[in-house]
Amino acid sequence: MKAFVALILTVLLTDYCSSMTHTLRHFQTSSSQVPNFPESVQTVEVNDVEIMYCDSQTWRVEPKYKWLDRVAEADPYFWLMITKLFIDNGQRGISVTEVVKQLLNQTEGVHNLQNVFSCDWDDETNKTSGSFQYGFDGEDVASLDLSSDGLQVSWVIAKPEVFLSLRNLSNEEVKRYFVSDYFQCQKCLRSSVAYGKKTLMRTELPLVSLLQKSSSSPVTCHATGFFPDRAQLFWTKDGHEVWEEVDVGGETLPNGDGTFQISMNLNLSSVPPEDWDRYECVFRLSGVKEDLVTRLERDKIRTNAKSGPCVPLIYAAAVILSFLLSFMQHICFNLMNCNVRHHGSSDP
């Protein structure tokens, strides 16, 4: 009976630990008067992994993973729907960019209209939500939040002169504009999670390094190559998390290969050298039970300082090698002289 209860608890805990909130984001940039750059560029990311790309040069959707073919097999209209969505959004974005330029009286020069449409799904509670965000030349213009509780809608208009027509819309009117796209987003998100689980829910541990520019600089704990981006990096002393000696940082950044990196600095200016080994860098990744712990030890620190610990040894080795070469040359020179004198004394 105890073994059965333990088994049930293990299954429940495993399911709980594996639950997560999944996110689909549709990024669109519409550009005006940007040389050698498409007027429209769109990408789709699921759980921060890019799965599709499309631009206005060809209007062809480029899938990034083979498992998307399985999504299309389950829904024969999938690629038709996605292609139409990209073309409609792209052409609308190009037109809206020109309208916004006129409304803001900025018809000359380079301009960009950014649009991010996202939807979230919690696979444990089944709760969903969505949002639209608009920006022009890097400044927020408007945002919209959609909640799953009756699809309540809330607008935030940062530039009323641009989205004046949307500011006074009722919830029902806004729903007619956006709810169809919202449900399509949720459908695509769940299909992607179902068929792309190995890609989207994989875990990759990082390479953790201790770095220091000079002997007086903070020691940086740098973790790179991990996935997903839901990770924590922090310093501990005697097993307890520390903040006083830690510089502000810890932002997770993307790598070019789809993985992520994060760094955290530890200021050791007031820490005696004999206490260094009391500190550890801890990396914690979502979905992985055990933390990756790196103890602060001098021989583990990589530095670009000119006078690192290996320099004296290299210098000493060079001096010894130079002395040995000189000594061998001296011996060879004497032997050659002796040989010449020896042969010279035996000649007639």
Q: Encode pLDDT of 273-315 as tens digits.
A: 899 999 999 999 988 999 999 999 988 999 876 544 444 444 4
Q: Which of 253, 176, 266, 179 is nearest to 221 (CA)?
A: 266
Q: Which of 207, 195, 201, 189 is nearest to 294 (CA)?
A: 207
What are the beta bridge partners of residue 303? 212
Would you state the pLDDT for residue 244? 84
Class of domain 19-200: alpha beta
Q: Decide if 19-200 and 207-303 have a common fold.
A: no
- How many Cα neighbours within 13 Å face the side chain of 139? 9
Strands 139-147, 128-136: pairing is antiparallel
- Per-domain boundaries in the chain: 19-200, 207-303
Candidate from 2-6, 130-134, 320-324 with smallest mean pLDDT: 2-6
Q: Which of 16, 226, 26, 15 is nearest to 119 (CA)?
A: 26
Q: Which fold has domain 207-303?
A: Immunoglobulin-like (2.60.40)
Distance between CA atoms of 236 and 285, rounded to whole angstroms?
A: 16
Distance between CA atoms of 168 and 158, rounded to whole angstroms?
A: 14
Q: Which amino acid is at 147?
A: S
Q: How many residues does the chain have?
A: 348
Q: Encode pLDDT of 127-183 as tens digits.
A: 899 998 989 998 888 888 877 554 666 777 777 776 666 555 555 666 666 777 888
Residue located via tokens 């002393």: 237
Q: Encode pLDDT of 208-221 as tens digits.
A: 999 999 888 899 99
| Residue 73 token pair | 């097999």
Residue located via tokens 């310093």: 235
Would you state the pLDDT for residue 172? 65
